[in-house]
Structure 1
Amino acid sequence: MTDQHGYSEQDVQREVSELQKKSATAARIFDLRRIIGGLFVLYGLILGITGLLDDQAAIDKAQGININLWTGIGMLLLGIFFLVWLKLRPTPPPPPAEEGDEADRPAE
């Protein structure tokens, strides 16, 4: 059966299925754990290296604590946590394509 625009129920279902697959793929690519983890690792490395290279005057300014080094280590550990979490519990893959999807699609 077709509606007033000429789309059949099968066409609508196929379109919905394709959009769900694209949405699942985008969710996997733009998983916030990957972005947050990557940024924390990057900034943690930068701060850690800065902390290793700090002179005594910078350490004395922070009341004897090498704040850049400790903050860098903390950020690095947090970033690694997010990336390990992503590896252990990945976003589920999109559902497999139904066999008739490609054959039913009209040539464009």
Structure 2
Amino acid sequence: MPGQGSGHSAGAFDIRTVIALLFAIYGVVITVVGVVQPQSEIDKSAGVNINLWAGIGMLVFAAVFIAWARLRPIRVPDEVGEQ
């Protein structure tokens, strides 16, 4: 790929990292809620622990975004060209 070696990666400023962090935080919270949720609340949703499954889905989504950001980093040029 042209230009792959030039510049440095965006790192923490990559929007994929920010989105992954938000999904990971919400995923952990919802997964914990799903684990400690009483059975009466689960019965209201046809016996499916929606919070647990949604939390796990969010954690998987965050992991995919982190993997994407690590495998295909955005390169930022080191020098700004003269205009």
Q: TM-score, normalised by structure 2?
A: 0.77
Specify the alignment match of 2:4 in structure 1.
none
Q: What is the match of residue 74 of structure 1?
A: 57
Higher strand share: 2
Q: How many residues align?
A: 73
| Structure 2 residue aligned with 1:94 | 77
Instruction: Report the aligned-residue RMSD.
Output: 2.3
The 1-side partners of 2:78 and 2:30 are apart by 42
In structure 2, distance between residues paired with 1:41 and 1:95: 31
Between structure 1 and structure 2, the one with the greater Rg is: 1
Structure 1 residue runs of 4 or more that deviate by more than 3 Å after TM superposition: none
Whose helix proportion is higher, 1 or 2?
1
For structure 1, which runs of at least 5 residues remain unmatched after alignment?
A: 1-23, 98-108
> Which gives a bigger RCO, structure 1 or 2 (Cα 8 Å, sep 6+)?
2
Identity %: 41
SS at match of 1:95: coil
TM-score by length of 1: 0.60
Specify the alignment match of 1:64 in structure 2. Answer: 47
How far the C-alpha of 1:30 sits from its partner, in A, is 2.6
